[in-house]
Amino acid sequence: MIIPNDPFIGTHYIGREEVKAAKKVLKSKSLFRYQGPKLLYKTDEFESNMKKYLSVKYVLACSNGGSAIKLCCIANGVGPGDEVLMSPFTFIASANSVLACGAVPKFVDIDETMNINPDEIEKNIGPNTKAILVIHMQGQPCDMPKIMKIAKKNKLIVIEDTAQAFGAEINGKKAGTIGDCGAFSLQAGKTITSGEGGFLATNNKKIYEFAKMYHDNGGFRVGCNYPIWENKKTIFGENFKITELQSAIANEQLKKIDMILKHQKNNYNYLINKIDKEFYTIRPCVSNSKLVYSNIAFEFHTQNECNQFIKYMNTYGIGFNIYCNNLINQYDTFKYKTSWHNSKFPYNISKYQQTKCPKAESLFKRVAWFSLSASLKKKHLKYIIQKLEEYKNEF
Ligand SMILES: Cc1ncc(COP(=O)(O)O)c(C=O)c1O
């Protein structure tokens, strides 16, 4: 049996509803959110529904998760000379978005939850630290109560990269709504999807308005009117707007969120309840958190043990793997301070310094991941459990 590592959670729920919604937008010939012959206001609808779901005051839909992070940074005044504390265990987009603002990341170690270690945040705060970019990795929320306390004490901005954790909660609050603002992704591998796309959530009107201007080429737009660039409010900006087609699809996906999360949790529990937890060390999570259950992760004592397990599972067609080949702080951009500009911007002004993250370096090589998605049927789960049991007995 072949059971590939399939991280495409929302993708599997694309059905008649999404097709119908997309068709309607195409028939309207109004794909641009602010104008068209028969505008359906699908982006407004998505933002309004998302506000309700997240219980926040403001949501701004945008082109992708990376642009949402950049908007969060910019709207909070993160820029050249600033340092942003973040974990190196993430997707490169988290750090690229910080660099794109002219700031630099300062990589801070993780703890056994594989998310940023709050104690390490405190140790790494320096004179240039402006913000903490918390990344809720692989559907699991960071320790937000601790992080918020540290941020408050040190007057730091908290931005939540919730690209991989839409639907997760901590203490009954949705991940991405606890800090100053949250960035979300609608890319194909996320809880809900429109292929590409993203959004920002905040309770702060100023942040929302600033982000809204920046994402619309810095223009000040009222309703669907043409933006104004001559009113002393405007800033320079970029085009990070979402399309009506994406919003229409994302809207239908959002209607399915409870069903998606329930299915994820059921699959996770089915597996977890049937494996030997003495032998398999499951990735721990912070208390009072609700996960997306987008994957199952086992920690092994050594890299060799982990590789041996992965090899065994792969031999039987089960796509366990390590998360990535390297931590992002080991990528060339940080090793060699590479940039699109020969001045080496922003490394040249923000004094980027490499930091050591021993726990992350050790853990990422010793943890085997397997994505859980709706493509997994009971027979697949049973097969995985059988192979996990056989591996345990063999080694
Ligand atoms: C942790 C994390 N942050 C940011 C992003 C960027 O999102 P997008 O691909 O929508 O730009 C991703 C995407 O995979 C991600 O996993």
CA of 191 to the centre of ligand 1 (A): 12
Q: Is the CB of 91 under 6 A from ligand 1?
A: yes
CA of 163 to the centre of ligand 1 (A): 5
Residue 286 covered by a domain: no
| Burial (0-12, 13-18, 19+ Cβ within 10 Å), 368 | buried
Residue 303 covered by a domain: no
CA of 84 to the centre of ligand 1 (A): 17
Q: Is the CB of 93 under 6 A from ligand 1?
A: yes
Count up the domains in the chain and report the number.
Answer: 1
Among 69, 162, 185, which is best to mutate for testing ligand 1, by the most ligand atoms less than 8 A from CB?
185
Query: Which uninterrupted H or E stretch holds 182?
Result: strand 181-185
CA of 162 to the centre of ligand 1 (A): 8
- pLDDT at residue 321 greater than cutoff 90: yes
Q: Are 101 and 70 in contact (CB under 8 A)?
A: yes
- pLDDT at residue 357 greater than cutoff 90: yes
Residue 66: give its domain's CATH number: 3.40.640.10
Residue 297 covered by a domain: no
164 closest CA partner among 79, 244, 16, 264: 264
Atom of ligand 1 nearest to the CA of 136: 1
Among 73, 164, 327, which is best to mutate for testing ligand 1, by the most ligand atoms less than 8 A from CB?
164
**Mean pLDDT on 328-341:** 94
- pTM for the model stands at 0.98
- pLDDT at residue 233 greater than cutoff 90: no
Residue nearest atom 14 of ligand 1, based on CA coordinates: 91
Residue 298 covered by a domain: no
- Angle between the N-to-C axes of helices 16-28 and 244-255, in degrees from 0 to 180, rounded to the nearest 10: 150
Atom of ligand 1 nearest to the CA of 90: 1
Q: Which residue has the tokens 């490499």?
A: 354
Percent of the chain with pLDDT over 70: 100
Residue 305 covered by a domain: no
Strand order in the sheet with 83-86: 58-62, 198-202, 181-185, 157-161, 129-135, 83-86, 104-107
Q: How confident is the model at residue 270 (pLDDT cuts 50, 70, 90)?
A: very high
CA of 90 to the centre of ligand 1 (A): 9
Q: Are strands 157-161 and 181-185 parallel, antiparallel or unpaired?
A: parallel
**Mean pLDDT on 182-207:** 98
pLDDT at 351: 84
Q: Are strands 173-174 and 157-161 parallel, antiparallel or unpaired?
A: unpaired
Residue 289 covered by a domain: no
Residue 1 covered by a domain: no
Residue nearest atom 8 of ligand 1, based on CA coordinates: 65
Q: How confident is the model at residue 232 (pLDDT cuts 50, 70, 90)?
A: confident
**Mean pLDDT on 227-241:** 93
Q: How confident is the model at residue 345 (pLDDT cuts 50, 70, 90)?
A: very high
Range of the domain at 172: 10-257+325-359
What average pLDDT is seen over the chain?
Answer: 97
Angstrom distance (rounded) from CA 7 to CA 293: 11
Residue 392 covered by a domain: no
Report pLDDT digits (tens) over 104-132.
Answer: 999 999 999 999 999 999 999 999 999 99
234 versus 290: which is more confidently predicted? 290
Report pLDDT digits (tens) over 21-36.
Answer: 999 999 999 999 999 9
Q: Is the CB of 214 under 6 A from ligand 1?
A: no
Q: Is the CB of 246 under 6 A from ligand 1?
A: no
**Mean pLDDT on 196-203:** 98
